[in-house]
Chains A and B, each alone.
Chain A
């Protein structure tokens, strides 16, 4: 189920609200929170099964396995050798499942390609959210191993941690330590709920009004093949994609955070105006924060981070960034995308550090933005070859030349949406004058958000407008 679907908004959510908020055990706080956890966990399973009716089994296996591992680690906490063996086993299991479902086909195809073999492989669909929940489970297991968190002896709260539907299929990747206490006790209040509603509507608006609208332009531009695009058109295209992916992804995170708040949870922020970054390092502090911190905490620092000399640091950065690339998808263009950032970060850290500090701020912002947009070319393409032709088109030396009539058409029709999304992503609207009185400001905000919500519903319904063209001839 997607948050931006009618089923979720008008059927699933009302039912979950009803079951969750109507108290059953008025006097027994402990029982009431267990009931709330149960409702949330059960509805999360329904939520997941709605999109992946078969793969729910896989998730249940993962929950039960990692829960048991946690208990096992706790039991053998005093015995470092056994403890380590258990951890290795757990990591192999989790990565094995992820690897099998996500990378098996990719690996086999590459082996075939390299050695001229023709091994066949079953074409299994990728289970939605597996990259997210596997990483969440791993963070728990590793933290228990390290003794950073207490073991969860109750299956229900642990299952809730893995399945919680707001962040289940697109993050943010919540670390167990951030949420441990909330699983037992959390404040549910009207103010928090209202805050959640604001977050949710903002995310929905980002996704439905901004991302879908601007994404349609990108799809339109690339639908006729990318090698014959003129430079102007291809820049418009990649700008639109840059906006689409930010509003899509951060919109989803906002909705997740908002829903979490409604149910009393606090998730960490996942995006912090990434396109206002002044360097690549800065960009990755602001983009998909929960993933970067996961890799930092569970790969980069355990490998030694930057404390073991330059050579080792460079090696560590390389490892982290190839993995980051691969995490996003089983294809070479994602690896290239990860490597692109790895190399840039190494350069920024060791070569251009002093140079970068001399460049005036506005230029740094523009440079960062250009690099990020070039990065998205790798990310958005279906293959490395396609990314190459797109980049060639962007230089103006491609088959399409510099501009044509289509470029003018796109420029004139897309200018307004590009301007609005651009200004919004660059955080310009943040600085708009607001009413001084706090209550007044809040009222304006609330009314504005409700209008946005209604617009979102209108756009959601209209997307399915699907007229049959009688006599299309």
Chain B
């Protein structure tokens, strides 16, 4: 086989690897929800914030319309205060087919929430504009935070 042929086949191989990498998100991470939460928390320390506390399943149902049994894992941190917009939601999906509807529900909520704060509280609405909604290997994270970039990288590392 001559050199050109080898190079051509190499291209095919690299292409296949690339496509696998792109679609690779379909695999499921082995990490548990708690581990991911721990890793994310280490970055943004949400459990140490005074106003923000872990919410029960009822609150999750009320805020997002999610039933906790539908997911392998779900945890939600938020504040009771009206003016506090920082929050954190981590979900481990049971099935990837849930992804679209879950994402949609979260996006709708963000929209409603930012409509409330628009112009009324510029800092809050700027924070809401930079909300994080990421999916990786079965895990979904949604957060409103001062440090969205660090949060994403912590999440991606943990999953």
Instruction: Check whether chain A touches chain B (CB < 8 angstroms).
Output: yes
* Residue tally, chain B, CB below 8 Å to A: 22
Proximity string of chain A (98-132) to chain B, C-beta cutoff 8 Å, 1 when within and 0 when not: 00100000000000000000001010100000000
Q: Are A124 and B15 in contact (CB under 8 A)?
A: no
Q: Cβ of B65: which chain A residues have Cβ within 8 Å of it?
A: none
Q: Cβ of B19: which chain A residues have Cβ within 8 Å of it?
A: 100
Q: Does A8 contact B (CB under 8 A)?
A: no
Q: Cβ of A347: which chain B residues have Cβ within 8 Å of it?
A: none
Proximity string of chain A (39-78) to chain B, C-beta cutoff 8 Å, 1 when within and 0 when not: 0000000000000001001100100110011011001000
B132 to chain A, nearest CB (A): 18
Proximity string of chain A (437-473) to chain B, C-beta cutoff 8 Å, 1 when within and 0 when not: 0000000000000000000000000000001111110
CA distance A122 to B20 in the complex (A): 10
Proximity string of chain B (1-30) to chain A, C-beta cutoff 8 Å, 1 when within and 0 when not: 010110110011011001100110110000
Q: Are A469 and B18 in contact (CB under 8 A)?
A: no
Contact (A71, B4) CB under 8 Å given A468-B125, A470-B119, A471-B120: yes
CA distance A100 to B14 in the complex (A): 15
Q: Are B26 and A64 in contact (CB under 8 A)?
A: no
Q: Does A352 contact B (CB under 8 A)?
A: no
Q: Are B22 and A54 in contact (CB under 8 A)?
A: yes
Q: How large is the interface on A (under 10, 10 to 19, 20 to 34, 35 or more residues)?
A: 20 to 34
B8 to chain A, nearest CB (A): 5
Proximity string of chain B (25-68) to chain A, C-beta cutoff 8 Å, 1 when within and 0 when not: 11000000000000000000000000000000000000000000
Q: Does B118 contact A (CB under 8 A)?
A: yes
Proximity string of chain A (383-414) to chain B, C-beta cutoff 8 Å, 1 when within and 0 when not: 00000000000000000000000000000000
Contact (A468, B11) CB under 8 Å given A54-B22, A71-B4: no
CA distance A61 to B19 in the complex (A): 12
CA distance A72 to B11 in the complex (A): 14
CA distance A469 to B11 in the complex (A): 53
Q: Are B22 and A65 in contact (CB under 8 A)?
A: no
Q: Are A89 and B8 in contact (CB under 8 A)?
A: yes
Q: Does A426 contact B (CB under 8 A)?
A: no
Q: Does A25 contact B (CB under 8 A)?
A: no
CA distance A124 to B26 in the complex (A): 12
Q: Does B105 contact A (CB under 8 A)?
A: no
A53 to chain B, nearest CB (A): 13
Q: Which residue of B lies closest to A63 (CB)?
A: B11
Contact (A468, B4) CB under 8 Å given A65-B11, A122-B23: no
Tell me the dominant secondary structure on chain B's binding face. Answer: helix
Q: Are B18 and A61 in contact (CB under 8 A)?
A: yes
Most chain A beta carbons < 10 A, residue from B12, B22, B97: B22
Q: Does A97 contact B (CB under 8 A)?
A: yes
CA distance A319 to B29 in the complex (A): 46
The answer, among B8, B118, B119, B125, for a CB contact under 8 Å with A69, is: B8
Q: Are B119 and A471 in contact (CB under 8 A)?
A: yes
Q: Does A21 contact B (CB under 8 A)?
A: no
Q: Does A93 contact B (CB under 8 A)?
A: yes
Q: Are B23 and A469 in contact (CB under 8 A)?
A: no
Q: Cβ of A75: which chain B residues have Cβ within 8 Å of it?
A: 2, 4
Q: Are A469 and B118 in contact (CB under 8 A)?
A: yes
B96 to chain A, nearest CB (A): 8
Q: Are A468 and B119 in contact (CB under 8 A)?
A: yes
B5 to chain A, nearest CB (A): 7
Q: Are A470 and B118 in contact (CB under 8 A)?
A: yes
Q: Are A122 and B122 in contact (CB under 8 A)?
A: no
Q: Cβ of A470: which chain B residues have Cβ within 8 Å of it?
A: 118-120
Q: Are A68 and B22 in contact (CB under 8 A)?
A: no
Q: Are B119 and A97 in contact (CB under 8 A)?
A: no
A19 to chain B, nearest CB (A): 29
A80 to chain B, nearest CB (A): 17
Q: Are A58 and B18 in contact (CB under 8 A)?
A: yes
Q: Are B15 and A64 in contact (CB under 8 A)?
A: no
Q: Are B22 and A122 in contact (CB under 8 A)?
A: yes
Q: Are A472 and B7 in contact (CB under 8 A)?
A: no
CA distance A311 to B2 in the complex (A): 44
CA distance A97 to B15 in the complex (A): 9
Q: Cβ of A89: which chain B residues have Cβ within 8 Å of it?
A: 8
Most chain B beta carbons < 10 A, residue from A57, A68, A124: A68
**Nearest 4 A-B pairs (CB), nearest first?**
A470-B119, A468-B119, A65-B11, A72-B4
In addition to A469-B118, A469-B119, 4 A-B residue pairs with Cβ atoms within 8 Å of each other are: A68-B4, A68-B11, A100-B19, A470-B118
B positions within 8 Å CB-CB of A: 2, 4-5, 7-8, 11-12, 14-15, 18-19, 22-23, 25-26, 97, 115, 118-120, 122, 125
The 9 listed contacts between A and B (C-beta, < 8 Å) are A61-B14, A64-B11, A72-B8, A75-B4, A122-B26, A124-B22, A468-B122, A470-B119, A471-B119
A positions within 8 Å CB-CB of B: 54, 57-58, 61, 64-65, 68-69, 71-72, 75, 89, 93, 97, 100, 120, 122, 124, 467-472
